[in-house]
Structure 1
Amino acid sequence: MARRRNMAASIGGWSARHRWAALLIWVGFVVTATLVGNAVGTQKMEPWEGDSGDSRKAATVLAAAGFPDAAGESVLIQARGSAVPADFRQAAGDVREAVLATGRVENVRTPYDPEAPAPVSADGRSALVTFDMKGERATAKDRVKPVIDAVAQVQKAHPDLRIDQAGDASSGLMIGDALAGDMVRAELLSIPLTFGILLAAFGALLAAVVPLVVAFTAYLGSVGLLALTSQFLHVDSATTNLMLLIGLAVGVDYSLFYIRREREERAKGRGRERALEIAAATSGRAVLISGVTVIVAMAGMFLTGNGVFMGFAQGTILVVLTAMIGSVTVLPAILSLIGDKIEARVVHGAVRKVTGRTWRRRLGGREGGGRVWNAILTGVLRRPVVSVLLAGAVLVGLSVPAFDLRTGEAGLADLQGDYPVVDTLRRIGTAFPGGQAPAVVVLKARDVTAPEVQREIQRFKERAFATGEAVEPFGVNVNPDRTVAAVSVGLVGSGASDEVSEHAVRTLRERVVPETVGRVAEAYVHGGVASVMDFNAQLGRTVPLVFTFVLLLAFLLLLASFRSLVAAVTAIVLNLLSVAAAYGVLVVVFQYGWGEDLLNFESTGSIVSWLPLFLFVILFGLSMDYHVFILSRIREAFDRGMPTEQAVTHGIRTTAGVVSSAAFIMVGVFAIFGTMSMLSFKEMGIGLAAAILIDATIVRAVLLPATMKLLGDANWYLPRWLNWLPVLEHEPEDGDTDGTGGTGGPGRPGQGGGSDGDRDGGPDGGPDEPDPRPGRHLPVTVG
């Protein structure tokens, strides 16, 4: 009978035998994808593609209307004391002359213009000088620096006043540069940090370099692919940053799983080709299962219908898919090429003094858990009930604050740190409430300048102000062909999507617009507050669908992969506990503000609205990495004859080292984002880091083994009516691969001897006997 091989074993075997071909194919793919991607260019989202509901419809109309795409700027002139200085009016004129002298602005308005004057605050202490930057909005930040310098010179001439500039271009310059610097710093730190952890974990240069090379080349190739796919589904500018974050995490993880297993088999005395064969059939298979599960989780973001989430889904799926393919194709080729040189030691002496072990033992030992892991696991399996209760109590305790999770928009508070332009925007918002985040009613008609439309616009103004929920400024802009009008009106409230501002938007949408302009034109209410409301409403409708999709497909994948109803349910429950605990940490740190001083931020009392769903999808997918890898080793040992408890002990111990290293890398990379200026990125980084840390310690080291010990053979329960599920076998082997038998001596209790620990005790190469116990699915091999 021919030996059956799983797909990962077939791919890995071919790559190992044709290593140069596999390497050339991979390099060719990465180079081609990068060159083509650079030539095509990644298609960024249009602003309207990130909107939802009526806001998206309004933004679509505005985008097609042909309005001048100018960047608006404001200069705030404000008295420092309660009295208004005598040079107040002179300062406004000086600002006008200074910005016009740069030759880079147009449409300058001051409070003292006879027609369409710029606003003055109710107390007379604050005034604005407004203008537009010449040229396109997208590039205005590159031209605004001379204007900022000119305003600064006016400030020096009027020391009794505060004269500061803020707007689209100046914010883009100052804030954009700060955020770009944060992203560059995160990218520059993440790669050396990953390399440092790998080097510390393995003490071997090649063992540290190879996972990083596979992960980074997978990232480069996937970015090239993104440029192609983004022509059909545009992406947010942050997508490639997220891809690096996820690509490093999963790419390094998959490589570690593979290398660890190959070195373990070599340490048992396997030949190079046989060790790679076994690694491909076992860890390679686990990589495929894990990768597909992560992809399924990421795909859940498509169901939101939101352009930003859909772009994130596209990018993360591409990088995970590429990393998964690279791990089962080019990695076996690299390992076949460099062989045992991967363990060339660079810090051997120092580590040997500390641990008393050689690096070969560390990389390839059978029970590589280390003293700490072994001590924890021994205690957990000795008292599984106590362990489940204690670990469960910790996780539930961490999860309790999640029930108080409140979402909101950080607004200006999203940018943490000392940024003058943010302070200026806050002071403008205080002096001119409603002016910074007005509602924009978009009207579309055959002719918006027609008398009947103009009458309804005037009625809209009167009715809106009569409600007490709309305030000055009020303005109307008409596009060149007079088919679209943008009617802007200030709103009461903070303008940061608080209850007062949201009620004002609902009043306009439900009462004022239908009774006025809605009678003569197609009308939509847009604006900052309206956009947030529409986004949250769509998210509320789609979140149950996303959760159901991710959980159901993940369950079905695990059920088919491990042919166990209990194992699939356990995996789902444990991952949900990890996510819930991460939510609780987010609430305690960022909503209650317990980590303000340590993380250098100021709490807004809420979590940014897009983060909970995003974290669920990302965390659920990444948590499956560890679970699938550990469970694969446990199931493999069980299928080859170990009792469940012994299989659990073996599976945890043989994966402990690589799980620890992978977790440290993920936590370190994610924690870098906790140092960024944007509060939303801080929340994302700390949430991801906390979840991975919780998952790799409390869940995988305590709750998983204790639960499996209590369930015993019930872990592998599969109802008879599900026996039609495909049997996804581990690679059949001529001998022991998991430590259940020796490599030349007698096997472990319950097993015969034999040169490779065959279960039946027969000569090497003889067929394994079927196991009469239910739930076993043993491979059949013929030498």
Structure 2
Amino acid sequence: MAGQGARFWAGERLMNSRGAVTVRIARWSATHPWRAIGLWLVLVVVAVGLSIAIPKQQTKEADNWVGQSGQAAELIQRAGLEDKPSETVLITDPDGPLDRAAATSALTQLRQKMTAIDAVGAVGQPVWAENGKAALLPIELKGSADDAAENIDQLVTATADVQKAHPGLTIAETGGTSLDAGIWTQVGSDLARAEKLSLPITFALMLLAFGALIAAGIPVLLAFSAVGAALGFYAPLSYLFPDGGSVANVVLLIGMAVGVDYSLFYLKREREERRRGRSTVDAVEIAAATSGHSVVVSGLAVIVSMAGLFVAQDPTFSSMAAATIVVVAVAVIGSLTVLPALLAKLGHRVDRPRVPLLWRLNRRIGPGGISRRLLAPVLRFPRVALVVSTVAVIALAVPALGMKTEPGGLDTLPQSIPEVKTMKTLQQNFPSEGMAYDVVAKADDKTAAVAALNRLQQAAVESGKFVPGQAVRTSGDTAMLRLVSVLPDTTADAKVALDQLRGDLVPKAFSSLPQATWAVGGESASSVDYGEHQRDKLPYVIAFVLALTLVMMAFTFRSVAIALVTTLLNLASVAACFGVLALIFQHTWAEGLLHFTSPGFVVSWIPVFLFVILIGLSMDYHVFVLGRIREGVRAGLNPREAVRQGVVDSAGVVTSAAAVMVSVFAVFATLGMIEMKQMGVGLAVAVLIDATLVRIVMLPSILVLLGRKAWWPNKLPTPTPTPTKERELVTA
């Protein structure tokens, strides 16, 4: 049949493309397998050595200063008015009002233990709640916040010892340092859980795809080694791009997805060519010329997309971008070098040992068996298919118009973290420990600045929405006042309080001192400013990523139409993803299903991150499918038949690749941190939509409707007439 002839002709043509870089690399690896395998092992060992020898750098507090809160923090730091790191031990009675005698005994013991710790600078006097339900002990630590982080375990241990001695009371510690430590403990637990789940799930999916243990194990092994190597190479890079806290999670998430996919693309094509009678080396070279080329283009697409995170000018995003670029580059190198070496060394043994049931099932379904049936009506009625699929995508995307984004806070953290629960209890019993705002003023007339801050405090307290936090403090020409909002510690209330201070109370207080420089900062203000910063940068990130990927696709396929279609389809997938996120996380109907409490919004950094990742990952198999379709077009098939053949031939590998991505991302949707949950749900939903609705319906229908115009200005051969019998199969 024409399709078989075109495939044979394309294979012969690809055999002649021996000058391609990917083919030359694959040929060397296949003919020198032990050297290639040895070099890969050296690469991994060196990377692991780097991670051991070079301590990974973390972001500093100053790295995250943005907006007016950043200006306030800088003024405070220059004047030396910053607070010493502090912790609070809270005592409550789970059975009712606090027993003052028992609490006094516990407080005395706490003071003794805390005073004996070298890292503790001072232990304050106990403070009793006005409602009689709690007491707190303030503790000031020596040194910087980094010093406090190193010594916090000593305080936590002392608190735990006193708790054991007073089982009738609830004695718990919280504060900036211990809260951060609790969050990191949760992140570490989540990461370990993700590793335990993602590896066996990925291996099981590879077994379903190949039906053989060795073939299934190779992609998983290479992906896992790429993740380990990338984390090692990131260690020295962290001195340029310090870890904002999510590098390990993101590297595991993206590394396993792309690492498995790249190996899968290559391995599937090599097996396909061997089944057609090619020798192992010839099959490897054809896989290198086709799938290897697609892997390089896909890897570059992900790298270009991730580079868009640098545009956000955020240290956390910059660390994610740097680490992800490294893991994608390592995965591409592995698929082009050590994978051909392994395939050449194993030969036909790569399909051993076979899992009988799965092997027979794969043989019975055949390549693209399911996709062929789904694709037939799309090719027969492309306009109807395009209209229906477009309506479906729009329906999913509409909720995105109402998507709310806010920075995370106490309410978005897992309530299972003890320090989070203690902090919320502390704020309930001590309103002065709530959302604090630092008003900083710098003026030549320090006396006038202090008077203005005192007027501000009086007006703020009289408004009934603030209580005094600290009295006015001065240093040189700078003065600072701390006010605490009586509103609950939520993102929306934080913005209300901040807007009132910045827009009304502070300007009025300083109306008689126009030459003064003032700013409102503090932790709550920083959170609000950070969210606004992300929203402001999102349009620039979108423009950067779309422009570069558009140019790259136009250059790769030498077609403006293909580049535009790719961009539109990518935007459709992202819009649908955002719509589903809004549906799930801004409402309560999915709380029981995904085990979370709805915050009523999407965490502010998630849309920027998801957009960049999704554009890159959607190009992953999109490039692979388009490459197979282009093979058919260049072989002389008419556009409809080329689309059918390209989609069917790539269906098995693309479905397997998408299944791996969806499963890995879905694992993150089960984690405790709401940010990880939103990221996992968003990525899993987007890939699922992209691999089914977009790939099987929208892309084929558009290419069929465009016909040969889709590949302009490429010079295409005259289409080979499709025999009647095969034409019937196409439209069946």
CA-CA distance at 1:649 after TM superposition: 1.0
CA-CA distance at 1:603 after TM superposition: 0.8
> Counterparts of 1:352 and 1:569 in 2: how far apart (Å)?
40
In the alignment, which of 187, 191, 194 is matched to residue 199 of structure 2? 191
> Counterparts of 2:93 and 2:469 in 1: how far apart (Å)?
18
Contact 1:22 1:330 in 2 (8 A): yes
CA-CA distance at 1:99 after TM superposition: 4.1
Query: Could you tell me which residue of structure 2 aligns to residue 397 of structure 1?
Result: 395
In the alignment, which of 26, 31, 34 is matched to residue 12 of structure 1? 26
Query: Could you tell me which residue of structure 2 aligns to residue 381 of structure 1?
Result: 379
In the alignment, which of 146, 149, 171 is matched to residue 138 of structure 1? 149
- SS, match of residue 131 in structure 1: strand
Listed one character per residue, the Cα deviations across residues 295-339 of structure 1 (whole Å, up to 9, x for unaligned) are 111111111111111111111111112212222222222222222
Higher mean Cα deviation, 11-20 or 190-199? 11-20
Q: Call closer, same or farther: CA 1:108–1:521 in 2, change over 3 Å.
A: farther
- SS, match of residue 441 in structure 1: strand
TM-score with structure 2 setting the length = 0.87
- SS, match of residue 519 in structure 2: strand
Listed one character per residue, the Cα deviations across residues 197-252 of structure 1 (whole Å, up to 9, x for unaligned) are 11222122221222122222222222222112211222212112211110111111
CA-CA distance at 1:170 after TM superposition: 4.4
CA-CA distance at 1:459 after TM superposition: 4.4
Query: Could you tell me which residue of structure 2 aligns to residue 41 of structure 1?
Result: 55
> Counterparts of 2:463 and 2:129 in 1: how far apart (Å)?
23
Matched, 1:474 2:470: yes
Query: Could you tell me which residue of structure 1 aligns to residue 669 of structure 2?
Result: 674
Q: Call closer, same or farther: CA 1:310–1:687 in 2, change over 3 Å.
A: same
> Counterparts of 2:278 and 2:722 in 1: how far apart (Å)?
19
- SS, match of residue 676 in structure 1: coil
CA-CA distance at 1:696 after TM superposition: 1.0
Listed one character per residue, the Cα deviations across residues 82-139 of structure 1 (whole Å, up to 9, x for unaligned) are xx66x4376246424334235335533345xxxxxx4634x55554332235673212
Matched, 1:465 2:461: yes
CA-CA distance at 1:669 after TM superposition: 0.9
Contact 2:72 2:520 in 1 (8 A): yes
Query: Could you tell me which residue of structure 2 aligns to residue 309 of structure 1?
Result: 317
CA-CA distance at 1:516 after TM superposition: 4.6
> Counterparts of 2:515 and 2:236 in 1: how far apart (Å)?
43
Matched, 1:91 2:84: no
Higher mean Cα deviation, 591-600 or 405-414? 405-414
Listed one character per residue, the Cα deviations across residues 377-421 of structure 1 (whole Å, up to 9, x for unaligned) are 122222222222222222111111111111123422223354444
Query: Could you tell me which residue of structure 2 aligns to residue 531 of structure 1?
Result: 526
Letter in 2 for 1:494: P
- SS, match of residue 566 in structure 2: helix
Within a 5 Å distance, the mapping from 1:701-780 to structure 2 comes to: 701-718=696-713
Contact 2:665 2:681 in 1 (8 A): yes
Q: Call closer, same or farther: CA 1:417–1:455 in 2, change over 3 Å.
A: closer
- SS, match of residue 659 in structure 1: helix
Letter in 1 for 2:274: R
Contact 1:49 1:56 in 2 (8 A): no
Query: Could you tell me which residue of structure 2 aligns to residue 120 of structure 1?
Result: 129
Query: Could you tell me which residue of structure 2 aligns to residue 768 of structure 1?
Result: none
Q: Call closer, same or farther: CA 1:182–1:227 in 2, change over 3 Å.
A: same
- SS, match of residue 457 in structure 2: helix
CA-CA distance at 1:690 after TM superposition: 1.1
Within a 5 Å distance, the mapping from 1:373-522 to structure 2 comes to: 373-433=371-431, 435-442=433-440, 454-455=450-451, 457-466=453-462, 468-475=464-471, 487-498=481-492, 500-510=493-503, 513=506, 515-516=509-510
CA-CA distance at 1:528 after TM superposition: 2.5
In the alignment, which of 301, 304, 315 is matched to residue 296 of structure 1? 304
- SS, match of residue 235 in structure 1: coil
Higher mean Cα deviation, 133-142 or 683-692? 133-142
Letter in 2 for 1:201: A
Contact 2:159 2:171 in 1 (8 A): no
Matched, 1:70 2:77: no
Q: Call closer, same or farther: CA 1:403–1:510 in 2, change over 3 Å.
A: closer
Contact 2:84 2:140 in 1 (8 A): no
> Counterparts of 2:419 and 2:260 in 1: how far apart (Å)?
40
In the alignment, which of 532, 541, 544 is matched to residue 546 of structure 1? 541
CA-CA distance at 1:622 after TM superposition: 0.4
Q: Call closer, same or farther: CA 1:132–1:674 in 2, change over 3 Å.
A: same
Query: Could you tell me which residue of structure 2 aligns to residue 318 of structure 1?
Result: 326
> Counterparts of 1:700 and 1:32 in 2: how far apart (Å)?
40
Within a 5 Å distance, the mapping from 1:314-353 to structure 2 comes to: 314-347=322-355, 349-352=356-359
Higher mean Cα deviation, 560-569 or 432-441? 432-441
> Counterparts of 1:574 and 1:623 in 2: how far apart (Å)?
9
> Counterparts of 2:279 and 2:449 in 1: how far apart (Å)?
84
Within a 5 Å distance, the mapping from 1:266-277 to structure 2 comes to: 266-277=274-285
Q: Call closer, same or farther: CA 1:3–1:236 in 2, change over 3 Å.
A: closer
Query: Which one has the bigger helix percentage?
Result: 2
Contact 1:93 1:110 in 2 (8 A): no
Letter in 2 for 1:489: L
CA-CA distance at 1:74 after TM superposition: 3.5
RMSD: 3.2
- SS, match of residue 490 in structure 1: strand
Higher mean Cα deviation, 467-476 or 395-404? 467-476
Contact 2:374 2:696 in 1 (8 A): yes
Matched, 1:591 2:586: yes
Listed one character per residue, the Cα deviations across residues 753-780 of structure 1 (whole Å, up to 9, x for unaligned) are xxxxxxxxxxxxxxxxxxxxxxxxxxxx
Within a 5 Å distance, the mapping from 1:233-312 to structure 2 comes to: 233-312=241-320
CA-CA distance at 1:10 after TM superposition: 2.8
Query: Could you tell me which residue of structure 2 aligns to residue 561 of structure 1?
Result: 556
Gap regions ≥5 residues in structure 2: 1-15, 725-732
Letter in 2 for 1:368: P
> Counterparts of 1:602 and 1:710 in 2: how far apart (Å)?
46
Listed one character per residue, the Cα deviations across residues 345-396 of structure 1 (whole Å, up to 9, x for unaligned) are 331x223554554xxxx8xxxx7112x2221112222222222222222211
> Counterparts of 1:46 and 1:404 in 2: how far apart (Å)?
34
> Counterparts of 1:3 and 1:634 in 2: how far apart (Å)?
18
- SS, match of residue 144 in structure 1: helix
> Counterparts of 2:280 and 2:543 in 1: how far apart (Å)?
44
Contact 1:674 1:683 in 2 (8 A): yes
CA-CA distance at 1:33 after TM superposition: 2.6
Q: Call closer, same or farther: CA 1:291–1:610 in 2, change over 3 Å.
A: same
Higher mean Cα deviation, 287-296 or 381-390? 381-390
Listed one character per residue, the Cα deviations across residues 722-762 of structure 1 (whole Å, up to 9, x for unaligned) are x8xxx9x9xxxxxxxxxx99xxxxx9869xxxxxxxxxxxx
Gap regions ≥5 residues in structure 1: 112-117, 730-739, 742-746, 751-783
CA-CA distance at 1:555 after TM superposition: 0.8
- SS, match of residue 143 in structure 1: helix
Contact 2:436 2:523 in 1 (8 A): yes
Q: Call closer, same or farther: CA 1:80–1:284 in 2, change over 3 Å.
A: same
The number of residues matched between the two structures is 699
Contact 2:17 2:289 in 1 (8 A): no
Query: Could you tell me which residue of structure 2 aligns to residue 600 of structure 1?
Result: 595
Contact 1:505 1:530 in 2 (8 A): yes
- SS, match of residue 337 in structure 2: helix
Contact 1:73 1:133 in 2 (8 A): no
> Counterparts of 2:121 and 2:621 in 1: how far apart (Å)?
58
Listed one character per residue, the Cα deviations across residues 37-83 of structure 1 (whole Å, up to 9, x for unaligned) are 321222111122133223334445556749575341231447965xx
> Counterparts of 2:199 and 2:471 in 1: how far apart (Å)?
50
Higher mean Cα deviation, 418-427 or 375-384? 418-427
**Percent of residue pairs identical:** 37
Listed one character per residue, the Cα deviations across residues 610-666 of structure 1 (whole Å, up to 9, x for unaligned) are 111111111111011011000000011111111111111111111111111111111
> Counterparts of 1:274 and 1:488 in 2: how far apart (Å)?
73
